[in-house]
Amino acid sequence: DTEVTQTPKHLVMGMTNKKSLKCEQHMGHRAMYWYKQKAKKPPELMFVYSYEKLSINESVPSRFSPECPNSSLLNLHLHALQPEDSALYLCASSQAGTNSPLHFGNGTRLTVT
């Protein structure tokens, strides 16, 4: 069982829709991450939050908007997505600082129609 919970598991949305992905962890971690994974590719880093502040944005298009309301929650707001944004979106958390392994949720499978 994963200690990082992501909802929903599957999401289908149109290009004009607004939706949000949610991630929750109760491990006391102070760093949280969003990754995007296309089929047969490794996960690609999108955003990192450290102590609830955005510390890394890997030049992600503004149609993806992250939010970290508190140390346990991480959201990814989606608006005006393109079909090529269809992917598995993975949330992870870790202790803040170097050499702390990431713990991943099971992901949200997003399909943009």
Partner 1 sequence: SQELEQSPQSLIVQEGKNLTINCTSSKTLYGLYWYKQKYGEGLIFLMMLQKGGEEKSHEKITAKLDEKKQQSSLHITASQPSHAGIYLCGADAGGYQKVTFGTGTKLQVIP
Q: Does 60 help bind partner 1 (rule: CB under 8 A)?
A: no
At its nearest, how many Å lie between partner 1 and the CB of residue 12?
Answer: 15
Q: Does 12 help bind partner 1 (rule: CB under 8 A)?
A: no
Q: Does 83 help bind partner 1 (rule: CB under 8 A)?
A: no
Cα–Cα dist 89/2, whole Å: 15
Opening angle at CA 28, ends 18 and 95, nearest 5: 90
Residues forming the site for partner 1 (CB under 8 A): 2, 4, 31, 33, 40-43, 45, 48, 50, 55-56, 88, 90, 92, 94, 96-107, 109
